[in-house]
Structure formats: C-alpha cells, structure tokens
Structure 1
Amino acid sequence: MNIAVDTSAETARKLQTEAVHRLKPNSGLPYWDKAELGSFQAGHLPQWARDGLTSFRRVVLDQRFPCTFATTAERNGQLVYAFAETATEKGDVKHIADAIVAYLDSLADLPPNKVDFQVLVALIKPMMDCPLEEYGTMAQALLQSLHECDPAPWPAEIPTDENDPLWSFAFAGRGLFINFSTPANHARLSRNLGVCMALIISPRDVFDRVAGPTDKGRRVRSMIRERTKDYDDGLPFAPWSSSAYGEGAVGTERSQYVLSDDNETPISLSLKQCPFHAKS
C-alpha cells in the first residue's frame, strides 16, 4: 500500500536553505565585505539584493546624508553587508544572527580606528506597499527572535528593563546600537536607505566612544541633528531618538529603533509601545 507523505514543510525548509546559501559569499561567511562585493561572485546575488545594495549606497554616499560616519565608512569600504529574504522566517533570523556573531568576532582583529567605522548592514528583501507600522512590527519580532536564539547570556552590565535609560539590545554577549530604516519613511528621509528595510548594527561601546554622552559625543550628535533636520526638509529631530541614550532625556534606547514620520505619535506596535520581553 502506498502512503502519501506531505513533504511541503520539508520542501519549504529546503528552498529557504538554498535561498540563504545564495546570499552568502564563497568564503562561507554570512556577510559580504568590500572585496567580495567587488568580485565576480557578487553577480550571483539575487537581483533584489544587488538593487538594494545599489540604492543603499546611493543614499549614504550623497554629500547631504546626515550621518557622515556612514558616508566615510562606505567610501573606505568598511561597511559589511548581510542579505535576508525576510525578517521573520526562522532560517533568515538564524542567518542574521550568524552574521552578527561573525561580525562581532571580526572586530577583535581590527585596530580601534578601524573598529569605529566597521558597521554591519543587514538588507531585507523589498516588500511591495508595506506600511511603516508593519515594518515596526517586523522589527520588534526580529529583535525578539534574535534574543530567543542568542548564543550568550544577557550581559550583566546591561539592565534588562528596557525603560532603563542605560538599556540597549544585546546579542552574543555584547550591547549593540541598532536602528532600522525603511522605504516607508517618506518624510523622515534620514531613515529611508533605499528599497530595502535596512538594519544597522554596531557595538554599543563603539557608538558611545564616537557619539556617546560625553562632551565630544554631544558635539557629534548636535552636528548630526542639524544635518538631519536639513536632510529631512525641516522635520525636527525625533524627540525619542538615540540622542537620549544614557541621559534620562525624552525617549529610551529602544524608542529609536523605528521612527515615525512625525514627532507626535510613535509607530503603532513599535518597540516603544510593545515592551521587549527578556528570555528567562
């Protein structure tokens, strides 16, 4: 007697595994560096990934782009890139998690002046007509999924209460500075980095060294705020942005992950409104 076996789930897993494999360079690393993206093998990336990378670079290399650190890092070939088909599928979340771990490991071999500009950019496959609120929901789900598969315990020095002014997301034993940019940010152009949702990741301590709550850091943030206001056509800098980090000002670290297109109403279902849940 022949017994029919439903292999749809197995087929789906196989297809996603193949999709993730296509998004890796020949080195086997889960992210791409300047050399790999400049070689012939980059042509094997799906068209959406190549288009997403091109549009991202076009934005950050614009002389008006407010974050001069990102512009300098891209010009110097110090940004590294990971690509994912979705922000929610298990295989894609693992791929992003692997990229973060590999990226953090790579920093140990770099001198401090290189570490400051070495940033991981994860680009998610574009979605047609996706509203900003839905991007907020996906961002929250991705961070929660990353937390659930974190290979390391939560760092003892970072509060677990996300309302604490010193809280930051942590992964692989290290505090991280993270923000999301989306193609649905039509007014806040500084949070629109092309056709893909972009996840920007760097170590929290590196961000604090460059733009933290110090005299130098305040000057840097002030400069970026002014440039951001001009770039966003006069839209004031978000009151719950990362400028509040560690200073007890309006907003907390989590409230800047996804920013709305105004300064009055947080994004529905964003991290600001749906608290992060620490795993036990």
Structure 2
Amino acid sequence: MQLAINAVLFVIAFSVFSNITQFRKTINQLVKRLRSITHGFKLGALPSKQDDGILPHELLPASDAELLTRNDVEGRFDDNSWQGLAYHDFRTTILARGKGMNTFPCVYATMGYRSGDHRFVFLESDNPSEPRNIRKVALALAEYLRISTSLGPNTSLVIIGAPSEKERTVEEHNRTFWDMLRGLRICDPKAWPRDIPQDTEDAKWTFCFSGEPVFPVMLTPAHQERWSRHMSVPLIAMQPKWVLDNLLQTPEKRKAAQSKVRNLLQKYDTIDISPDLTDYGAAGTSEIRQLCLQDKNESVHCPYRNFDS
C-alpha cells in the first residue's frame, strides 16, 4: 500500500517539476522576445527568423487601441501641430473638387470621409516598420476590423506617419511598408485564413490580419508623378476586403467603378496608369504589386514571398 502511495507521489512530483520547467522555459522565451523589441528594424534590412518574436501577440490588449474619429482628430490636435497639418493635407487632397482642381481618383475614399466612416491612427515617427508603430497599428487594426461593418460601406483605416526627417526614395518608403506588414503578421494572434494562399505571387493572395482579408496601400512624399499615391507624409490606408467585394460584386458594378477611377487617374497623374492595376485573381498577376506603386511604370518588388517566413 505504501509502495503504491509513494508511486503516486512520485508521478505528481514529476508532473509538477515538468510544469515548472516548461513554465520557466516559456518565461525565458517571452523575455527573449521582449528584449528583441528594443532592437527595432533597420531601414532596408529584412527581419530574420530570429526576429519572429519581436512583437509577440501577447502584447495586444484591445483596451490600448488608439482609434480616432474625424471629430476626435479635429478636436485633439492643434492646427499647427504635425498631426494637424498632415490631417489637413489628407482632408484637402481627398476633398479636392471644382474649377482648377483635380478630383481625387478614389472617389469612394472621399465618400467614406464625408460620411465619417474613416478611422485614424497617428504614428510615433515617419517609419511604420518601427516596433512601436507596428504595435500601435496592430492594436488599432484589430479593433477597427472588429467594428468595421458598423462604420459604413466606404470605411478605411487611415494611418498617418510623421514628417520625414530625411528625404527618402519611393523604394525606401516601400521597404518600410513591407516590413510593417511583416511585423503585423508576427504579432497577429490569429492564423492565416486557410482559403487564402500565403504565397505573395499567387493570383489569389491578399493580405490578412486577425483572420480578415485587408487591402493596404502606401502613399509617400516621394511620389512626384503618380500623384494619386502622393501625400506630404507617409500614409497607409487599409480597407477591409468586404468593402471592395460589395463595390465590385457584379460585373456591371466592377466595370462602372473601374471606369470611373481610371478616368480620374488619367487626369490626376502625370504618368500612365500602372499596368499592375489589374483585376484580383487574374492569371499572371498578384495583388501584392498594387499595394506600393512605383513612380514609374515598372512593377514593384516585394521582398517577402511569404509574410510568415
């Protein structure tokens, strides 16, 4: 009898010790991941596999999300602050209309702003790939996607960066964008949807976060010919794919929307329409090449074939 009791006690002790060992291992891994946050990304350097823990998804409490409405922005920031000036430039650009003014090509973004459906996030610097900015965007994006269907048919999350301290090329701005997307995938608490390929060269690829397909685009101060992708500060607009699905749900609606936008692009830009602006899913194309357009008619190169590896 005593032998049986001793055996049970040994099993319990071994189990407790194993759990403690596993617990310590988990803590050590988390500490290592947290320490790596302080190193940040270097502009133009690809995050390595060792950086996979730079933004652990344990750091995503929804209560910390900073998601601002149009009224919040206008009431919080002074007109002469960089946030106020950048917001004014965004507002002026997408509302431009009338004699002597070119209408912003994405009329649906304009409609979303007028109806108050957009939400805004202001970064801590001009580099969206910095860990502090990735964390801020991840928190805001997760909360935004949770409520997006209640905001209206033309909603977008508008992410506004600070003025650049030094002049950057379009390619350099694009690199910060790609690295931001990589960072978002690292800290995303949800797995990539099974029905969407992760190969960025696949015609059916689209970016996903929190299990939701999203269409993000980058606007930069460096664009001087493709004015539809120009803004005075680095700016990223993220739109849930259901917005586009609703807008383009029939061949007739798709044709009408594309015709309207393309006609405005021809008047707005001083360069021909990019050949990469193709239909989603068309053979031989990928949506990845639409997110960051060059200031010339050459296809952009994404350094990530898979944002999870």
- TM-score normalised over the length of structure 1: 0.80
Q: Per the alignment, do residues 107 and 169 of structure 1 end up closer, same or farther by CA in structure 2, a change over 3 Å counting?
A: same
Matched ranges for 1:60-139 at <5 A: 60-63=94-97, 64-85=103-124, 86-108=127-149, 110=150, 114-127=151-164, 128-139=166-177
What letter is aligned with 1:202?
Q
Q: Equivalents in 1 of 2:148, 2:175: separation in Å? A: 30
Structure 2 unmatched runs, 5+: 1-34, 39-62, 98-102
Query: Which string of whole-angstrom CA distances, capped at 9 and with x for unpartnered residues, describes residues 106-159 of structure 1?
Result: 124x1xxx4321210001112131111101111111111111111110011211
Asked if structure 2 preserves the Cα contact closer than 8 Å seen for 1:189 and 1:231, the reply is: yes
1:159 corresponding residue in structure 2: 197
Q: Equivalents in 1 of 2:239, 2:175: separation in Å? A: 22
2:215 corresponding residue in structure 1: 177
| Pick aligned residue for 1:33 from 54, 69, 74 | 69
What letter is aligned with 2:190?
A
Whether 1:168 aligns to 2:209 is no
Q: Equivalents in 2 of 1:88, 1:149: separation in Å? A: 13
- TM-score normalised over the length of structure 2: 0.73
Q: Calculate the aligned-residue CA RMSD, in Å.
A: 2.4
Matched ranges for 1:1-280 at <5 A: 29-39=65-75, 41-43=76-78, 47-63=81-97, 64-85=103-124, 86-108=127-149, 110=150, 114-127=151-164, 128-192=166-230, 194-211=231-248, 214-233=251-270, 235-241=271-277, 243-248=278-283, 251-263=285-297, 265-267=298-300, 270-271=301-302, 274-279=303-308
Query: Which string of whole-angstrom CA distances, capped at 9 and with x for unpartnered residues, describes residues 183-202 of structure 1?
Result: 1110000001x311111111
What SS is found at the alignment partner of 2:77? helix
Asked if structure 2 preserves the Cα contact closer than 8 Å seen for 1:84 and 1:123, the reply is: yes
What letter is aligned with 2:141?
I
Q: Equivalents in 1 of 2:146, 2:296: separation in Å? A: 37
Q: Equivalents in 1 of 2:238, 2:80: separation in Å? A: 23
Give 1:42 shift.
3.2
Q: Equivalents in 1 of 2:279, 2:114: separation in Å? A: 29
Asked if structure 2 preserves the Cα contact closer than 8 Å seen for 1:213 and 1:247, the reply is: no
Q: Per the alignment, do residues 212 and 177 of structure 1 end up closer, same or farther by CA in structure 2, a change over 3 Å counting?
A: farther
Asked if structure 1 preserves the Cα contact closer than 8 Å seen for 2:201 and 2:305, the reply is: no
More helix by share: 2
Structure 1 unmatched runs, 5+: 1-9, 14-26
Q: Per the alignment, do residues 217 and 191 of structure 1 end up closer, same or farther by CA in structure 2, a change over 3 Å counting?
A: same
Q: Greater CA deviation, 178-187 or 208-217?
A: 208-217
Asked if structure 2 preserves the Cα contact closer than 8 Å seen for 1:213 and 1:245, the reply is: no
Aligned pair count? 243
2:27 corresponding residue in structure 1: none
Give 1:205 shift.
2.3
1:24 corresponding residue in structure 2: none
Give 1:172 shift.
0.4
What SS is found at the alignment partner of 1:245? coil
Asked if structure 2 preserves the Cα contact closer than 8 Å seen for 1:212 and 1:218, the reply is: no
Query: Which string of whole-angstrom CA distances, capped at 9 and with x for unpartnered residues, describes residues 66-105 of structure 1?
Result: 1111111112222111011231221210100111001111
Q: Equivalents in 2 of 1:226, 1:77: separation in Å? A: 26
